[in-house]
């Protein structure tokens, strides 16, 4: 998405030119030599690539703002479903406008998103398409598993707002790994997949566009690049994107399991743990209050197998597959882990939980000048809170009621008018009543594990 200082932007500068689009489809304009290795399917792919203009709600010190950004996407179904990045379109989107290949603009709505893989799906407004008499073509996936370094690929999208732009490059690496990545508002990403690396040109605004073969098959969704570096672009592999697209179309979200294990590579450590090569993965840390901690797992343990399936985490690039094996278990199911601790090997049964982000839903109550974020399960456990009830203050407007009452960033509001904040909707309901008839509000605040009672006056 075209945003200042965003590392999650993507590709495209011209390596061959595109003629100005005409109604019914864009046409290539290039020498015969430049088209020798391009299939007719490539033209259909070009017609399926779209520009996304997104207006989304942001929050700044207790005030709501609207921010506009530009990204790319590719139509992947005959019903008009567009695959793009989660950092391009998210649940805070107020409006999504799609520019088709013939330059016509159509509204779209968010179907679902998955920040863990940085993928999202939006759907074209069928009614508007019908009223305007518009049609579209859609692309198809290729097999990213078969890719090899050196293979020719094309990146298509909207760099810096310039629609229908193409660059040619090669696959530089098929299993690039990034540890501890973040996307958008700080959401976790990349735990369950590696990326394709390409040397196609990188520019802001190309996020969400397809990485394709000369035959037009989509083998990746362009996702990230390094600002200040040349020829370093990265895409989510098609084999991952295909699964996420299917899951989002079915359930509008992707459900994964969680055990609370932070894994690390065993490279160069096997001798210290008396292990054979290519067996096991290191447990670097265990999340507080997680199923793994409850079962007695500790940092330094070696995970040997999951439900009888041996794991090999010698190298960093192998970690996402192991994390994905855990995530693919049914939520609430029992998973048997074979663990080595010192000279002892043990079997530990763990009951999985639903994977949740540590980033909670955010909103602002402007009459109070108060910005809050719902407390996540992880935040509650790490902060030794009794439960995940309440909201954490992420912004306060000076001179507004909350600030004047003494509310500060980092405070945790657990109750308002003696009512527990079990959900963000509870606080929104209280706030709506305040807007209708402003009056004093009693807030119970957890500040450094001490309870403070604060009266917010209109």
| CA pair distance 35, 30, nearest whole angstrom | 7
Q: How far apart are CA 261 and CA 416, in angstroms?
A: 35
Write out the E strands in 271-385.
Answer: 281-286, 302-306, 309-310, 334-341, 344-351, 353-354, 362-365, 370-374
Residue 207 annotated to the active site: yes
Taking residue 89's Cβ as centre, other Cβ atoms within 10 Å add up to: 29
Q: Give the active site residue among 48, 72, 81, 118.
A: 118
| Residues in a beta bridge with 253 | none
Rounded distance between C-alpha atoms, residue 82 and residue 120, angstroms: 8
Instruction: Name the active-site residue from 72, 81, 87, 199.
Output: 87
Are 82 and 108 within 8 A, CB to CB? yes
Give the Cα separation of 162 and 49 in Å (integer): 12
What is the spatial distance between Cα 458 and Cα 441, in angstroms, rounded to a whole number? 8
Question: Under a CB-based contact definition with an 8 Å cutoff, are residues 54 and 96 in contact?
Answer: yes
Q: Which of 144, 163, 172, 207 is catalytic?
A: 207
Give the number of other Cβ atoms within 10 Å of residue 257's Cβ: 21
The CB density around residue 91, as the number of other CB atoms within 10 Å, is 12
CA distance 378 to 362: 16
Is 118 one of the catalytic residues? Answer: yes
Query: Rounded to an integer, what distance in angstroms lies between the CA atom of residue 176 and that of residue 197?
Result: 6
Residue 101 · residue 25 · CB < 8 Å = yes
Tell me which residue of 75, 219, 38 sits closest to 142, measured CA to CA.
219
Cβ neighbours of residue 52 closer than 8 Å, sequence gap 6 or more? 70, 71, 72, 73, 82, 84, 88, 89, 96, 97, 98, 99, 108, 122, 158, 208
Angle at 125 between CA 119 and CA 127, to 5 degrees: 160
Q: Which residues are catalytic?
A: 87, 118, 207
């Amino acid at each position: 998405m075209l945003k200042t200082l965003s590392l999650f932007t993507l590709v495209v500068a011209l390596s061959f030119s595109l003629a100005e689009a005409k109604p019914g489809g864009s046409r290539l304009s290039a020498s015969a030599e430049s088209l020798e290795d391009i299939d007719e399917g490539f033209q259909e792919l070009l017609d399926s690539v779209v520009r996304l203009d997104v207006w989304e709600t942001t929050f700044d010190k207790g005030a709501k703002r609207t921010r506009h950004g530009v990204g790319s996407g590719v139509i992947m179904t005959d019903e008009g479903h567009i695959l793009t990045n989660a950092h391009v379109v998210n649940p805070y989107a107020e409006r999504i406008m799609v520019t088709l290949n013939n330059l016509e603009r159509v509204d779209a709505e968010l179907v679902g998103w998955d920040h863990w893989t940085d993928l999202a799906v939006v759907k074209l407004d069928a009614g508007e398409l019908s009223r305007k008499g518009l049609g579209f073509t859609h692309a198809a996936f290729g097999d990213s598993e078969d890719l090899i370094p050196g293979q020719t690929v094309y990146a298509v999208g909207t760099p810096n707002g310039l629609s229908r732009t193409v660059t040619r490059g090669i696959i530089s690496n098929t299993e690039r790994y990034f540890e501890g990545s973040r996307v958008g508002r700080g959401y976790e990403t990349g735990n369950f997949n590696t990326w394709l690396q390409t040397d196609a040109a990188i520019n802001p605004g190309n996020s969400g566009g397809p990485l394709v073969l000369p035959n037009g098959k989509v083998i990746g969704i362009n996702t990230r690049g390094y600002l200040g570096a040349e020829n370093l672009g990265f895409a989510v592999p098609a084999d991952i994107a295909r699964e996420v697209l299917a899951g989002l179309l079915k359930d509008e979200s992707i459900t994964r399991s969680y055990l609370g294990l932070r894994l690390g590579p065993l490279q160069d450590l096997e001798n210290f743990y008396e292990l054979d090569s290519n067996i096991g993965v290191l447990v670097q840390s265990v999340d507080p209050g997680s199923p793994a901690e409850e079962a007695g797992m500790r940092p330094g343990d070696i995970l040997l197998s999951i439900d009888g399936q041996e794991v090999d985490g010698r190298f960093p690039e192998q970690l996402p597959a192991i994390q994905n094996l855990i995530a693919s278990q049914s939520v609430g199911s029992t998973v048997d882990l074979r663990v080595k601790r010192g000279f002892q090997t043990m079997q530990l049964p763990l009951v999985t939980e639903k994977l949740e982000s540590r980033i909670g839903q955010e909103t602002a109550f402007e009459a109070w000048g108060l910005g809050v974020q719902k407390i996540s399960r992880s935040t509650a456990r790490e902060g030794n809170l009794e439960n995940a009830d309440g909201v954490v203050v992420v912004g306060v407007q000076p001179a507004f009621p909350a600030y004047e009452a003494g509310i500060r960033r980092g405070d945790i509001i657990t109750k308002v008018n003696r009512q527990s904040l079990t959900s963000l909707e509870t606080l929104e309901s209280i706030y709506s009543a305040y807007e209708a008839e402003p009056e004093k509000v009693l807030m119970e605040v957890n500040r450094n594990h001490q309870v403070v009672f604060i009266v917010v006056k209109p």
